[in-house]
Amino acid sequence: MAAPLAKEQILDTAEEVLRRFGLEKASVVDVARALGVSHGTLYRHFPSKSALREAVGERWLKRVSIPLAEIVKESGSSMEKLQKWFQTLIHTKRSKAIEDPELFSMYNALAEESVEGITAHINELIQQLTEIIEEGIRKNEFKRSDAGQVAAGIFYGTARFHHPALAKEWTSPNIDEEFRLVWNLLLSGLKF
């Protein structure tokens, strides 16, 4: 027989089956059939159906965080990077949410099945932001402050524009204007 079944190969097929059949219709048997193996085999690689689903969800989160990590490493002013980072995060999510809302909410449901995976993902994003802000402080672009706390503040302050639970509001015609208002405040503040 061919080489033993690889995890990545299973995940590729599982993803394909999930896309075709949808979150609630896709069964382990379907994935096994698409791979040309018995369903028992899949249980030798993943302990349960949820474990398989979680793995698909976590791989999807990685696809979001990897391009953002690239931006952190780029050259340019910290402010530019900060803006580009958010632009990318928000644009990526928004276009996926609008182009194929079903698929988007499927992947989000998948990811949410792994609370740990989500937490790790959010922490990773805030860590990326922290690095941008630390650099900005060093270069005197930003106020001296606890970079990690400011990173969390900006991330949570912009939640409306990237939190998947609020995706249905991203089709509003004012959404870009609303982001601009929040962004301005986060950068400059209300007080003198």
Partner DNA sequence: AAAATGACAAAAATAAAAATTTGTCATTTG
Partner DNA sequence: CAAATGACAAATTTTTATTTTTGTCATTTT
Determine contact, residues 125/158, Cβ cutoff 8 Å.
Answer: no
Q: With CA atoms as reference, report the closest residue to 117 among 107, 130, 104, 105.
A: 107
| CA-to-CA dists, residue 144 to 113, 138, 148, 157, 182, angstroms | 38, 8, 12, 19, 21
**Binds 27: which of its own copies, DNA, none (CB < 5-8 Å by kind):** DNA
Is residue 25 near DNA by the rule CB under 7 A? yes
| CA-to-CA dists, residue 168 to 105, 113, 129, angstroms | 10, 20, 25
Is residue 109 near DNA by the rule CB under 7 A? no
Is residue 30 near DNA by the rule CB under 7 A? yes
**One symbol per residue from 115 to 154: x for binding its own copies (CB under 8 A), - otherwise; what is it?**
------------------x--------xx-x---xx-xxx
Determine contact, residues 80/139, Cβ cutoff 8 Å.
Answer: no
Is residue 66 near its own copies by the rule CB under 8 A? no
Q: In the complex, what is the shortest distance from the CB of residue 52 to DNA, in angstroms, rounded to a whole number? A: 8
Determine contact, residues 179/161, Cβ cutoff 8 Å.
Answer: yes
Write out the residues near its own copies by the rule CB under 8 A: 133, 142-143, 145, 149-150, 152-154, 156-160, 163, 165-166, 178, 181-182, 184-192
Write out the residues near DNA by the rule CB under 7 A: 1, 4-5, 24-25, 27-30, 37-41, 43-45, 47-50
